[in-house]
Amino acid sequence: MTTTSHGPTVPFALARYRQGDSPRLGLVAHDRIRPLPPEDLGAASLNDFLADPEWDRLAALADGDDGGWMPLTDVTLTAPVEPRQVLQTGANYRQHVIELVAAGLTNTSDRTLDEARAAAAKMMDDRAANGEPYFFIGLSACVVGDDVPLVLPSYSDVHDWELELAVVIGREAFRVSREDAMDHIAGYTIVNDITTRDLVFRKDMKEIGTDWYRAKNAPGFLPTGPFLVPAPFVDGANLSVRLELNGEVMQDASTSDLLFGIPALVSGASQNMPLLPGDVLLTGSPAGNGQHWRRFLRDGDVMTGAIEGLGTQVVRCLAEGPVSSRFARSTTGRR
């Protein structure tokens, strides 16, 4: 179990914390948290609030001394969102994709590494100018807080990390333009998109291609939070993204390297289906995954992921035992 010891470096944020059998919504200001019942929130639920967020209302509460404030260290935080849909973005950090493409080019041609990188960079620039973001769907049931240990399924030894900035949708977005897309963002949070690498590509019929369902949708494979930070406090185009594994830096990048920026992602994802209040849209993973380091997650590993201004999540890994009842017990009521 993990308790985050300090709040995000913004005036206030939303969080959900455990009290009894079900999570409660809370308002976080610095190192303290207070309950946020519907009468204070001004809405019946979190997603109802996000559909038309009154941040000024919460700012006034954050400045007050009433409302039952508690030290943040006295509560156990869980996932700060309740999405109905989770959309994920692939191949979206420019430098990361350039390195992957360049490695492929050097293996299949007589180009030098510099020549391959230059060719890959041109490909990515052409894609950014003329292409579209690449999306796939995750399961909202995989969204958990870092209070839930990450149980590593025993069917593979190559479970990987992918720390990502995640957009939380506010007002419903359906076929919105890039120019209007930011008006549909309520806030941001942190998601570690866990991936089982040897399940990404189908082995029985390669023509089918990727199998994101099996590779990314095991229980607990979307550790999220611990905070939902209001959009007015965040410049999503220029945030540091950093993941440490047992204290060693593995990912260290900036969202300024996104191939398709946040407006393009929200607009692109909204073209097929409406994005609903509270839905989560992952923006892609920077370089430094376990596949790059040739080192995957093991029993006892601790991942510490931080995104500038959004706080820190700490995820502890456990090997799956012969019976999965331990996981079932640990995730009861997790949402």
- Please write the tens of the pLDDT for every residue from 260-317: 999 999 999 999 999 999 999 999 999 899 988 999 999 999 999 999 999 999 999 9
CA of 67: how far to CAs of 34, 74, 87, 112, 287, in Å? 6, 16, 35, 64, 43
Q: Is 56 exposed, middle or buried (0-12, 13-18, 19+ CB in 10 A)?
A: exposed
1: in domain: no
| Co-location of 161 and 144 in the same domain | yes
The residue among 34, 49, 78 that closes a domain is 78
| Co-location of 195 and 233 in the same domain | yes
2: in domain: no
Rg, Å, the chain Cα set:
20
6: in domain: no
Query: If pLDDT is split at 50, 70 and 90, which confidence band does 107 have?
Result: low
Using one digit for the tens of pLDDT, what is the confidence trace for 33-67?
Answer: 999 999 999 999 999 999 999 999 999 999 988 87
4: in domain: no
State the amino acid at position 14 in one-letter form.
L
| Co-location of 111 and 151 in the same domain | no
Q: What is the count of structural domains for the chain?
A: 3
7: in domain: no
Q: Which residues, 6 or more positions from 264, have their beta carbon under 8 angstroms from its beta carbon?
A: 133, 178, 181
256: in domain: yes
| Co-location of 266 and 280 in the same domain | yes
Using one digit for the tens of pLDDT, what is the confidence trace for 309-332?
Answer: 999 999 999 999 875 454 444 454
Question: Tokens 């640990």 identify what position?
Answer: 330
Range of the domain at 50: 13-78
| Co-location of 70 and 98 in the same domain | no
Q: Is 306 exposed, middle or buried (0-12, 13-18, 19+ CB in 10 A)?
A: middle
Q: What percent of the chain has pLDDT over 90?
A: 73
| Co-location of 243 and 313 in the same domain | yes
For residue 322, the tally of other CB atoms under 10 A from its CB is 6
| Co-location of 142 and 172 in the same domain | yes
157 three-class SS: coil
| Co-location of 168 and 273 in the same domain | yes
What strand order describes the sheet that includes 240-245? 150-152, 311-319, 302-307, 240-245, 248-254
* 40 token code pair: 């204070």
Using one digit for the tens of pLDDT, what is the confidence trace for 86-104?
Answer: 999 988 988 877 777 776 6
Using one digit for the tens of pLDDT, what is the confidence trace for 111-160?
Answer: 888 888 888 888 888 888 889 999 999 999 999 999 999 999 999 999 99
Give the CATH number for residue 311.
3.90.850.10
| Co-location of 45 and 98 in the same domain | no
Contact 233, 193 (CB under 8 A): no
| Co-location of 117 and 17 in the same domain | no
| Co-location of 125 and 149 in the same domain | no
Element (H, E) at 275: none
Q: What is the pLDDT of residue 106?
A: 66
| Co-location of 21 and 121 in the same domain | no
5: in domain: no
